[in-house]
Amino acid sequence: MIGRFVARRAAMLVATALVASVAVYGALFIAPGDPATLLIGGGKPPSPQLLAEIHRQYHLDDPFLQGYLRWLGGMLHGDAGQSLTYKDSVTHLVTERIGNTAFLVAYAAVLIIVPGVTLGTVAALRGGFGDTLVTVVTTALMAVPTFVMSVVLIWWLSVQWDWLPAYGAGEGFTGRLEHLTLPALALATAWLAYVAQVTRSAVRAELASEHVETAWARGVPERFVVRKHVLRNAAGPLFSVSGVAVAGLIAGCSIVEQAFGINGIGALLVQSAAKQDLAVVQALALITVVVFVVVNTLVDVVTAALDHRVSLEGTA
């Protein structure tokens, strides 16, 4: 059962990645005008010699399928072509920046999952005033989009209080930790609130379930009931939402990196899109989509492993 589930999810993953790659490559040709201008970028009218050179270099006059396979093959071998606006290889541009982005995403993921799950669990178990407080605060936080949270944090913690730097990514581990705290917070808050609320309702649902009643009826001590029944059974949904949150972070990076001037691949994606440097945009879009889909698939598979009912439902 679980084997079939994994196979189905993997097939879905490959299909989505393939459709994404066709769409990303095909973007070159659906644009009005000569696709070569998009590879040059910058929006200036290029010279005819340069256009001819680009056509030759990128095999733009080959049939679509042949060109697509050549491009995809290059991507898989780590050769994503040249950026003409940055005058650098796309691979180098990406590898230079991916460390900052990975650090940011990992940092934000920790900020989401640890406090989110803890707050939700405590609110559900304790109830009363703390529960209401958590609910109200998280409800308000969920409505604040990442970019608004970014400017609020810069204004409040960086300008008003001068606690943390508001710009750049920093050097080394501690430098990054210092510089990326505000961006990670901005990225994390809405998701943290969301994870806390889902945790709270999942834990409450388990607390009210019949099998937990059985455990109480048998005199099982509270700590075992909470750990072995409530948290164990809520683990599936918790892992699932945490994964959705992390996948969302990968796409949300663009906004935060722009807001905080971080030299990461999210900012690179936005800036090269603004310069219409399609070679970079294509590579980054494909990477982002693939990572996004892979994370989602992994989450689904792990959720199914944690909770056998999920894979059973899927096949029924």
Partner 1 sequence: MTTYQIAALGRGGARWSRLRRLTRGRGVLVVACAVVAVAVLAALFAPLLAPYDPDAVDPAAVYQGSSAAHWLGTDDTGRDILSRLLYGARPSLLAPAAVTLTAGLGGTVLAVSAAWLGGWYDRLVSALLDIVFGFPGLVLAVVAAAVFGAGLQVAVVTLSLAYLPYIGRVVRSAALRERNLPYVSALRMLGMSGRRICLRHLTPNLLPLVLVQVATSFGYALLDVAAFSFIGLGAQPPTAEWGLMVANGSTGILAGRAEQSLYAGAVIVVFVIACSLLGGGLSRQLLGDDR
Partner 2 sequence: MTGSPPLLVVDDLRVDLPTRDGMRRVIHRADLTVPAGTAVALVGESGSGKSMTARAVLRLLPSRARTTGSVRFDGSEVTTLGAAGLRRLRAHDVAMVFQDPRAHINPVRTVGDFLTEALITTRGVRPRAAEAKVTALLREVGIADASRRMRQRPPELSGGLLQRVMITAALAGEPRLLIADEPTTALDVTTQAEVMAIIDEARAERGLAMLFITHDLALAAAVCDRIAVMYAGGVVEELPARHLHERAAHPYTRALLASRPDPAATAEPLRAVPGRPLSAFETGPGCAFAPRCAHAQDLCHTERPSLSPAGEGLAACHFPAADARVTPQPGARSTPHGR
Choose the contact partner of 213 out of partner 2, partner 1, none; CB within 5 to 8 A by kind: partner 2
Parallel, antiparallel or unpaired: strands 88-89 and 82-83: antiparallel
Choose the contact partner of 248 out of partner 2, partner 1, none; CB within 5 to 8 A by kind: partner 1
CA–CA separation, 33 and 40 (whole Å): 13
From the list 50, 64, 232, 261, which residue makes contact with partner 2 (rule: CB under 8 A)?
A: 232
Choose the contact partner of 269 out of partner 1, partner 2, none; CB within 5 to 8 A by kind: partner 1
Choose the contact partner of 27 out of partner 1, partner 2, none; CB within 5 to 8 A by kind: partner 1
Output b/e per residue, 32-54; b: 16+ Cβ within 10 A: eeebbbbbbbeeeebeeeebeeb
Residue whose pair of structure tokens reads 């400017």 in the numeric block: 151
CA–CA separation, 71 and 64 (whole Å): 10
Does position 76 bind partner 2 by CB under 8 A? no
From the list 220, 251, 294, 305, which residue makes contact with partner 2 (rule: CB under 8 A)?
A: 220
Q: Of 110, 118, 129, 104, nearest to 262 (Cα)?
A: 104
Does position 18 bind partner 2 by CB under 8 A? no
Output b/e per residue, 209-246; b: 16+ Cβ within 10 A: eeebeebeeeeeeeeebbeebbbebbbbbbbbbbbbbb
Based on CB atoms, which residue is closest to partner 2, 233 or 254? 233
Listing DSSP states for 89-158 in one string gives EHHHHHHHHHHHHHHHHHHHHHHHHHHHHHHHHHHHHH-HHHHHHHHHHHHHHHTS-HHHHHHHHIIIII
From the list 3, 33, 63, 221, which residue makes contact with partner 2 (rule: CB under 8 A)?
A: 221
Does position 215 bind partner 2 by CB under 8 A? yes
Contacts of partner 2 in 126-145 (CB under 8 A):
none
Does position 224 bind partner 2 by CB under 8 A? yes
- Least gap, CB of 95 to partner 1 (angstroms): 20
Based on CB atoms, which residue is closest to partner 2, 171 or 210? 210
From the list 69, 145, 309, 315, which residue makes contact with partner 2 (rule: CB under 8 A)?
A: 309
CA–CA separation, 284 and 64 (whole Å): 21
State the burial class of residue 300 (Cβ atoms within 10 Å of its Cβ: 0-12, 13-18, 19+). buried
Q: How far is CA 308 from CA 210, 295, 300, 301, 303, in A?
A: 18, 20, 12, 10, 8
Based on CB atoms, which residue is closest to partner 2, 30 or 217? 217
Helix, strand or coil, per DSSP, at residue 79? coil
From the list 10, 228, 261, 274, which residue makes contact with partner 2 (rule: CB under 8 A)?
A: 228
- Least gap, CB of 207 to partner 2 (angstroms): 10
Does position 213 bind partner 2 by CB under 8 A? yes
Binding-site size for partner 2 (CB under 8 A) equals: 23
Choose the contact partner of 124 out of partner 1, partner 2, none; CB within 5 to 8 A by kind: none
- Least gap, CB of 302 to partner 2 (angstroms): 14
- Least gap, CB of 243 to partner 2 (angstroms): 18
Binding site for partner 2 (CB under 8 A): 209-211, 213-221, 224, 228-229, 232-233, 236, 306-309, 312
